[in-house]
Amino acid sequence: MMQLSIIIVNYNAKYFLEQCLCSVHKAIKEITAEVFVIDNGSSDGSIDYLQKKFSFVRFIVNKKNEGFSKANNIALRQCSGEYILFLNPDSIIAENILRHCLDFFSTHKEAGAVGVRMLDGSGKFLPESKRSFPSVTVSFLKLSGLSSLFPRSEFFNRYALGYLPENAVHEVDVLCGAFLMAKKKVLLDLNGFDEAFFMYGEDIDLCYRIQQSGYKNYYLGNETIIHFKGESVKQNALNYVRIFYNAMSVFVKKHFTGSNAWLMNMLLHAGIYTRASLSLMASPFRGIKKSSVKLKQNKKLLLVGDPVSAAEAENIIKQNISSGVIKKLQSLDSMSEVQYAVDEIIFCTGNFSYKESIQFVDETKSTYSYKWHGLHTKSIAGSTNKKFTGEVYK
C-alpha cells in the first residue's frame, strides 16, 4: 500500500520548486510515496521547465489560478497514499522527516494531522508553525500588537502559542498548510479543504474540523524544515492584507455566531485598515531593500558539499555575479579552515545531506546568507527575509 502522497501547489515559483523537489526526491527514498505538483496557471514556464527534470512527479495543470484549497482538492482526489502531505513549493525538507512523521502517526492513533517546526531562509523560527484558534480575545491581542510585546506570555500570545517550547512536541489547535500531513481517511471524510477559502485561512478551518471530528493535531518541534515563505505567495502588501482578512472573515461567518461573530468582524475590519495603512507607509522602504540585494555583485561565496554539485553551482554563479569570490568545502566540519569573511553559503546537495544544511542554518541563524543548489539543477535559490521575494541564480 502506498504510504504517502505529497501534494505541492505551484504558482510562479519555478526555481524554488526545483530545489524543493530535489529535497523531496531524497526524502521519499525511505518510504513508498507519490508526488503531485498541481500548477495554478503559472506564467513562468514552470511545467515545461520541471516536467522533463522530475520523472517521479505527476504534474497537473490548471488553466487559471484556482486558489490553494481547490488545487489541493483536485490532487487529493487522485491520491492513493494512506497519508497526505500538503507542502509549499518554497520549502526544503530533510531526508528523514517524512519517515519520522509517519512513525509518529503509527504510535499516536488519535492524531489526525501533524505539522513541524519551520524556519525562514535566514534560520529564524516561523511562529505560524503552531497556533491556536482565533477567538475574540486572541484576535484582539494579535491585532493590537500586544502579543508581539509579550511573545512568551500564555495570555498575551495565545495565538502563536509563544509560551510552548518551539523544539518540543505539543498538541495544538492549528498547523500551517505549508507542511501539513494528515490521514487521507480523515481528509476524505471532511471533503478536504473548504474551497470558500481561496488562499489563507484554509489550514485553520481544516484543523478546526479535524478537531471537531474527534482527532488531534500535533506540532512536532523536533522536526525542522526551511520555508522561505515569500516565494509561494507573491503578493504585494495590500493584496496580502485584503486576501488574509477576507479569509478570516469567511472563517468567522462559518464558525462564529451571535455577539462573538459581530465582535470578530469589527476586529477584522479594524485590522484591515491598520495593516493597510502600515503597509502603505512601509512600501517605499521595501523597494529600497529589494534593489540593494539585487545590485550587490562583489559577494564572497562559500560552496559547501558535493563536488559535482559545487562545480555546477560555480558555473551558475559566474553567469550571474561578475565579481564574486568563490571558495569550496566538501564538509561543514571544515568550516574552521575558512580564513576569510563569508557573505553567502550555498549548500550543494547530492552526497551532502539536506538535514545537515538545515541543522547548520538553525545553529548559525542569520550569520550568513544561505542558498541551495540541487545536484543537476540549473538554479540556486534562497531568501533572507520572509517578507520579500527571494533571490535566484539561474
Determine contact, residues 105/114, Cβ cutoff 8 Å. yes
What is the per-residue pLDDT for 221? 98
At residue 77, the 3 state secondary structure works out as coil
Q: How confident is the model at residue 289 (pLDDT cuts 50, 70, 90)?
A: very low
Domain CATH for 108 = 3.90.550.10
What is the per-residue pLDDT for 384? 85
Structural domains in the chain (count): 3
Q: Residue 381: inside a domain, yes or no?
A: yes
CA atoms of 379 and 394, how far apart (whole Å): 4
Q: Which of 39, 91, 46, 34 is nearest to 70 (CA)?
A: 39
Chosen domain end from 253, 270, 293:
293
Q: How confident is the model at residue 109 (pLDDT cuts 50, 70, 90)?
A: very high
% of the chain surpassing 90 pLDDT = 63
**Long-range CB contacts (< 8 A, 24+ apart) of 247-256?**
247/197, 247/198, 247/199, 247/200, 247/201, 247/202, 248/134, 248/200, 248/201, 250/196, 250/197, 250/201, 250/205, 251/134, 251/197, 251/201, 251/204, 251/205, 254/194, 254/196, 254/205, 255/205, 255/208
Q: Is residue 181 located within the same domain as residue 256?
A: no
% of the chain surpassing 70 pLDDT = 79
Supply the DSSP string of 277-312, one letter for each residue. HHHHHHHHHHHHHHHHHHH----EEEEEE-HHHHHH
Domain with 378 in it? 296-393
pLDDT in tens, 303-350: 999 999 999 999 999 999 887 889 999 999 877 766 568 899 999 999
Q: What is the pTM of this model?
A: 0.86
What is the per-residue pLDDT for 283? 52
Q: Residue 385: inside a domain, yes or no?
A: yes
Q: How confident is the model at residue 290 (pLDDT cuts 50, 70, 90)?
A: very low
Q: Is residue 191 located within the same domain as residue 100?
A: yes
Facing residues of 300 across strands?
325
**Grid coordinates of 4:** 504517502
Q: Residue 212: inside a domain, yes or no?
A: yes
Q: How confident is the model at residue 295 (pLDDT cuts 50, 70, 90)?
A: very low
Q: Residue 232: inside a domain, yes or no?
A: no
pLDDT in tens, 374-394: 999 999 999 987 777 789 999
pLDDT exceeds cutoff 50 at 288: no
Chosen domain end from 227, 249, 266:
227
The region of weakest confidence among 239-243, 298-302, 325-329 is 239-243
B/e letters for 110-148, b = 16+ CB within 10 Å, e = fewer, are: ebbbbbbbbbbbbbbbbbbbbbbbbebebbbbbbeeebe
What is the per-residue pLDDT for 293? 41
Instruction: Give the C-alpha distances (Å, rounded to integers) separating 21 from 56, 71, 80, 315.
Output: 10, 18, 19, 21
Q: How confident is the model at residue 265 (pLDDT cuts 50, 70, 90)?
A: low
What is the per-residue pLDDT for 156? 78
What is the per-residue pLDDT for 291? 37
Q: Is residue 266 located within the same domain as residue 369?
A: no
Helix count (H) and strand count (E) of the chain? 12, 17
pLDDT in tens, 181-209: 999 999 999 999 988 877 777 999 999 99
What is the per-residue pLDDT for 245? 64
Q: Is residue 9 located within the same domain as residue 125?
A: yes
Q: Is residue 191 located within the same domain as residue 278?
A: no
Determine contact, residues 234/388, Cβ cutoff 8 Å. no
pLDDT in tens, 344-367: 999 999 999 999 999 999 999 988
What is the per-residue pLDDT for 305? 96
Quick count: other Cβ atoms within 10 Å of Cβ 54?
18
Determine whether 202 is exposed, middle or buried from the number of CB atoms within 10 Å of its CB (0-12, 13-18, 19+).
buried
Q: Is residue 273 located within the same domain as residue 335?
A: no
Q: Is residue 360 located within the same domain as residue 269?
A: no
Domain CATH for 380 = 3.40.50
The region of weakest confidence among 150-159, 222-231, 281-290 is 281-290
